[in-house]
């Protein structure tokens, strides 16, 4: 007996199609129209400036953080890196649309990043922003 014959023996659906529901309980009807996609927020912006901001905005913010890290080179970074890095981190949090707790976290991490020695020549913030944008684009 083939699978298609098992499903329609005697005109009744077998246990294979009812997925374990009791024999007397009717199965839920399948909607005739497909469900609408809820991805209305992922529509590409229309103007060139909006598209550039969508593509490069967060990465540009990370570039600013790397530039601030470069300016706070050496022992200057131990003093100036904390408040300036925190301010840039707060701004980055607003760029990503984070709420207050997320902005505080990004500000603290940015302040620490600007005080760590030997990160001045490595664009770690820009690379992390690019990776985050890459993963966000896959959704």
The two three-digit tokens of residue 80, written as one number: 């100036």
* Mean of all residue pLDDT scores within the chain: 74
Report the pLDDT value the prediction gives residue 101, as an integer from 0 to 100: 94
Residue 48 CA, chain-centre distance (Å), reads 22
DSSP secondary structure code for residue 12 in this structure: S
Q: At what angle do helices 100-115 and 76-95 cross, to 10 degrees?
A: 150
For residues 100 and 75, the model is more confident at 100
The pLDDT assigned to 15 comes to 47
pLDDT at 6 over 50: no
Question: How many CB atoms neighbour CB 26 within 10 A?
Answer: 8
- pLDDT, one tens digit per residue, over 23-55 is 555 666 666 666 555 555 556 557 888 777 777
Give the pLDDT score at 134: 75
Three-state secondary structure string covering 38-67: CCHHHCCCCCHHHHHHHHHHHHHHHHHHHH
């Amino acid at each position: 007996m083939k699978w298609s014959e098992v499903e329609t023996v005697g005109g009744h659906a077998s246990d294979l199609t009812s997925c374990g529901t009791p024999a007397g309980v009717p199965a839920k009807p399948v909607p005739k129209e497909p469900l609408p996609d809820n991805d209305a927020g992922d529509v590409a912006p229309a103007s060139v400036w909006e598209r550039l901001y969508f593509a490069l905005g967060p990465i540009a913010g990370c570039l600013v953080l790397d530039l601030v890290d470069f300016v706070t080179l050496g022992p200057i970074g131990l003093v100036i890196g904390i408040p300036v890095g925190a301010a840039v981190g707060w701004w980055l949090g607003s760029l990503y649309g984070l709420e207050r707790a997320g902005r505080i976290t990004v500000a603290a991490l940015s302040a620490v990043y600007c005080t760590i020695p030997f990160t001045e020549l490595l664009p770690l913030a820009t690379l992390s922003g690019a990776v985050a944008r890459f993963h966000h684009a896959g959704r």
